[in-house]
Every structure is written in C-alpha cells, then in structure tokens.
Amino acid sequence: MREKPAEQHSNEKDSQRARRQRFKLLALIAIFAIPVATAWIMVEWRIGIPEQRTAHGELAPAVPALANWPLVEPLEALEPGDWILAFDCSTQCEALADQWWRLHRALGREAPRVSRLRIGGDGPALPGESVAQWTHTPEWHSPGRVWLVDPRGEAVLTYAREVELRGVMDDISHLLRMNPEKRAAPELEVGNR
C-alpha cells in the first residue's frame, strides 16, 4: 500500500478546515438571519399576529394627568405608586361604590396595589376608598365614567358606565401582571456588619 505524499495530506487537512470554517460562518449568519426573516414574514403576511384587542376599555389620551383633574379634595389619601381606579359617582352612587369595592376585593393579593378614588356622592367612603369632589365638570367627563390611572398619575384606560365588571377586572389583572411591583429589596451595607 502506498502512502499519500505529505503535501497532499496537508492539502486535504486544509480543505477540511476551510469547510469547517465556512460551515461555522454559515451557522452564525443563520442564527442572526432566521429571526429577522421570520419577523419580516410575520409582519408582511400577518402570520401569527393576534387580531383581537386585549383591553376592554378605551385608551384615554385626552384625559389629563390626575394631578390636573379639577378636584376639590386633596389626594394625599392615595398611596403613591398605586394604580388608581377612579370613578364618577354623580348618579346611583351607592350602587357604583359597592360595585367597585367588590371588584377591588376580587383582586385578591394584588388588591393593595390598587387604590379607589370616588369622585362625587354624599355617602361615607367605603373601606380603602378616597373621596373627592369636582370643582367643575371637565369636558372629558360623563356620569358613571371610570378611569384606570397608572402609578405616575396618567389615565391609561377609560370605561363607560355600562362596562362589564369582568372586562375591567381582566384589564387591571393584565396591567398588574405586565407591570410587576418593584419593591425595594433589603440591601446589605458593606460598611456596617
């Protein structure tokens, strides 16, 4: 049996190494190109993109920040960093206040992250509820309207009086899940041990 010359053996090793390097380069290009191509196909041909709406309320870009609402009472009773369920209680106040109190309780362990603000009405505040009055009626107001305000004080969603409670509950639960609470973790101080 005849052995291959050393030069031919070296050329075969070089070509195998070159093939391996080309394969690695193609694999690296594929790792970055496949997700981009997949996203482009999804957007262009609308494949795999949900069509349904997730929010039951309407977006509220015309509603100013809570600090700019024309309210008589100061809002110090509201917890800073909480989501706020504000509702107009100018008609059928007792029933509305009870309805939103029950929804608040139904949030379970997430309930402490939400505060209720009743605007209007004569009765006493229910547990966990702050009460305020309008100084004048703003143009974006309507009787029985409900607003969901984020922790920064911006109105996110608004609901008409006839809204289904399940829809509001779903929206609040979804927003709380998507915006986890950022509790301050106890940190160790290096100098004090």
Residues above pLDDT 90, as percent of the chain: 25
pLDDT at 161 over 90: no
pLDDT at 17 over 60: yes
The two tokens of residue 20 are: 């391996």
> Which of 11-15, 31-35, 73-77, 119-123 is the least confident region?
73-77
State the pTM of this model. Answer: 0.66
Say what the pLDDT of residue 51 is.
Answer: 61
Say what the pLDDT of residue 31 is.
Answer: 93
Please tell me the class of the 58-178 domain: alpha beta
Q: Are strands 114-119 and 129-132 parallel, antiparallel or unpaired?
A: parallel
pLDDT band of residue 191 (cuts 50, 70, 90) is very low
- Ordered by start, the domain boundaries in the chain are 7-50, 58-178
The two tokens of residue 158 are: 């608004």
3-state secondary structure of 147: strand
Identify whether the C-beta of residue 147 lies closer than 8 Å to the C-beta of residue 60: yes
Residues 166-172: contacts with CB under 8 Å, at least 24 apart = 167/56, 167/57, 168/56, 168/57, 168/85, 168/103, 169/103, 169/106, 169/107, 170/56, 171/55, 171/56, 171/57, 172/83, 172/85, 172/103, 172/107, 172/114, 172/148
Give the mean pLDDT of the chain.
Answer: 82
pLDDT at 24 over 50: yes
Residues above pLDDT 70, as percent of the chain: 84
